[in-house]
Structure 1
Amino acid sequence: MDTADTFHTHRPRLLALAYRLLGSRADAEDVVQDAWLRWHQADQSAIVDPLAWLVTATTRLGIDRLRALRARREHYVGPWLPEPARIEEDDGPAGDIADHAPGPARAAETAEQVSLAFLAVLERLGTEERAAFLLKEAFDYDYAQIAALLGQGEANCRQMVHRARQRLAAARARFEVSPRRHRVLLEKFMHAARGGDRAALESLLHADARLVSDGGGKAVAVIRPLLGGERIARLFWAAYRRQDPAIEWRIGRVNGEPAILRYRGGVLAAVMVAVTDGERITELFTVANPDKLGVTNAAAGASW
């Protein structure tokens, strides 16, 4: 197998790693392209394990890119949420990033790890802590490999992964919810929001629900997380009362999970995903920044 074929074989895995690390498909593709350039220029005869070499290069490039991105995100208008990697209007395959699980038994776990909600939680981790966790949990690296890759002691890497697991466990939904149940709750929420049914909205939202929206200063959005099911329901009810007739609501999928897609004049204006305990919605994440939706018209939609 020549160098190009070797890289092409491993590219989906490298892209999956970079996307989980950065939360941006565009930046992930840039990092993988940089890894390709390094691979192309490397002395192939000295590389014993091509995959290990490529994962190391991608991780180190990704860490450098993440540090730079976080410095820029300090000046971002409102909350920053991950960029969707794939948006679909039907229940087709989840896409090239979500599909690369090591085997069928981990398919559900992998889908969770690539969800926007999961990526949003990963943002709470430190840069190297995030890399160590992903290498261990998503790619099954042992601690000796992680330590060598990150230039850290093995004990320190164990501690980083342990801290990451604790933070993520506290933030995940309390119960495992089937995709069907998840979709049913989201559809009910969409119909209630579209119809201005405030009582139904409140009944679908957990009392301590949280709404986070990312407009990036280019779309109407709540500039701080909104807390409380009653307040969130009131927001959607108020939006219904002044609704734009050009807005169209559809159920689709974002990164393989059920999502609400909102269009304005046929142009995608926002995507919304939810976290649920199986009975009520506990969190809502809306991405309305047109730069993250492949929309060039900055006035494409009014979203929260």
Structure 2
Amino acid sequence: MTAVDVFTEHRGLLFSIAYEITGSVADSEDVLQDSFMRWAGTDRAAVDNPRAYAAQIVTRQALNSLRSARRRREEYVGPWLPEPVLTVPDASGAIELAESVSLAMLLVLETLSPLERAVFVMREVFGFDHVQIAETVDRREDTVRQIAHRAREHVRARRRRFTPAGEEANRVVVEFLAAATTGNVDTLLQLLAPDVVYIADGGGKATAARVPVIGAARVARLFGGLVRHPLPDMRIEAVPVGSMPGLLVYSGEKLDLVLQFEIDNDLITGVYVVRNPDKLAHLGAHPGAAGAI
């Protein structure tokens, strides 16, 4: 098996590891390129488990990438959100579909240190043993066990409940979309949890709220603006994004923003909007995973 064969066969896993550690599609692609070059230069005949070894390389590179990214994010304009990834089945096998890829989980992982995040992803998401993780992050096995326990408890305490994309969640989003595009504020209020949170990421490159908007009334008024100020030639597609129900909103042929909805007990508890064009570039050629609405 050649170096290319290994990365091709396990690309879904390797990309998922990089994405869950970095939260960035662009950084994940860079990580995979750098990791491939390192993998191609190894003595592969001495590697017993190519999948695990390649995963270790990717984890190390992703950890380095995240440490650099954390410094850059300190100067980011407005709230920072992970780059959206479509979680519809496709031929590319870009990511392994799982609740763990959800934006809700990625936001919790943002509260971990880079090392804690890498250990958590390897152990809790992809099931690597403590010995493999210790070799990857260059720590003693007992230290890794402590880090894994601490990270697991941290995530458990902060993880929010949500309904993954599916018939139930999609129904709520369809009702929400109908109300938002017709200016039906009463229906919007019925669909929004009283403490709903709206977070938008424009990165200083697109118009977006610079601080979170909290509360059903405020979020409903915000979406009422869709009727008053619609995008030119607006077109909306319903499609799962990061295992959560989502909407792709186009202005003509340009993807203008991506929305992800956190839903619990048939109420929308979180709305996450990515409008930074740099974070949408990889979705620009999306052919339409769902029918236009």
TM-score range, shorter chain: 0.7 to 0.9
Instruction: Please provide the CA RMSD for this pair.
Output: 2.4
Letter in 1 for 2:93: D
Provide the rounded CA distance (Å) in 1 between the counterparts of 2:283 and 2:105.
27
- 1:58 is matched with 58
Q: Which deviations, in whole Å up to 9, do the C-alpha atoms of 1:135-164 show, x marking residues without a partner? A: 011211122222222122333323332333
Letter in 1 for 2:251: R
| Aligned 8 A contact 1:25 1:83 in 2 | yes
Deviates more, 1:118-127 or 1:179-188: 118-127
Provide the rounded CA distance (Å) in 2 between the counterparts of 1:199 and 1:158.
50
CA positional deviation for 1:58? 0.8
**1:142/1:92 Cα in 2 relative to 1: closer, same or farther (>3 Å)?**
closer
* 2:178 alignment partner, one of 188, 191, 213: 191
- 1:14 is matched with 14
- 1:107 is matched with none
| Aligned 8 A contact 1:173 1:277 in 2 | no
Letter in 2 for 1:130: R
Deviates more, 1:151-160 or 1:14-23: 151-160
Deviates more, 1:74-83 or 1:113-122: 113-122
Deviates more, 1:153-162 or 1:30-39: 153-162
| Aligned 8 A contact 2:165 2:245 in 1 | no
- 1:96 is matched with 93
Deviates more, 1:284-293 or 1:118-127: 118-127
CA positional deviation for 1:170? 3.5
Q: Which deviations, in whole Å up to 9, do the C-alpha atoms of 1:40-67 show, x marking residues without a partner? A: 1122233333222211111111111111
1:49 and 2:49 matched: yes
CA positional deviation for 1:13? 1.4
CA positional deviation for 1:93? 4.6
User: Taking structure 1 as the reference length, what is the TM-score of the superposition?
Assistant: 0.85
| Aligned 8 A contact 2:163 2:263 in 1 | no
Structure 2 gaps of 5+ residues are 285-293
1:128 and 2:125 matched: no
SS of 2:80's partner is coil
| Aligned 8 A contact 1:117 1:273 in 2 | no
| Aligned 8 A contact 2:22 2:66 in 1 | yes
Identity of aligned residues (%): 40
- 2:289 is matched with none
Structure 1 gaps of 5+ residues are 101-109, 298-304
- 1:79 is matched with 79
1:277 and 2:270 matched: no
Letter in 2 for 1:261: L
CA positional deviation for 1:248? 2.6
Provide the rounded CA distance (Å) in 2 between the counterparts of 1:223 and 1:94.
37
- 2:290 is matched with none
Provide the rounded CA distance (Å) in 2 between the counterparts of 1:277 and 1:147.
37
Provide the rounded CA distance (Å) in 2 between the counterparts of 1:291 and 1:158.
37
Letter in 1 for 2:281: G
- 2:192 is matched with 205
* 1:111 alignment partner, one of 90, 94, 98: 98
SS of 1:281's partner is strand
CA positional deviation for 1:178? 6.6
Letter in 2 for 1:219: A
Provide the rounded CA distance (Å) in 2 between the counterparts of 1:37 and 1:144.
25
SS of 1:250's partner is strand
Provide the rounded CA distance (Å) in 2 between the counterparts of 1:121 and 1:296.
24
**1:6/1:243 Cα in 2 relative to 1: closer, same or farther (>3 Å)?**
closer
Provide the rounded CA distance (Å) in 2 between the counterparts of 1:270 and 1:178.
19
User: Taking structure 2 as the reference length, what is the TM-score of the superposition?
Assistant: 0.88
- 2:288 is matched with none
Letter in 2 for 1:96: G
1:181 and 2:168 matched: yes
Deviates more, 1:132-141 or 1:235-244: 235-244
- 1:264 is matched with 251
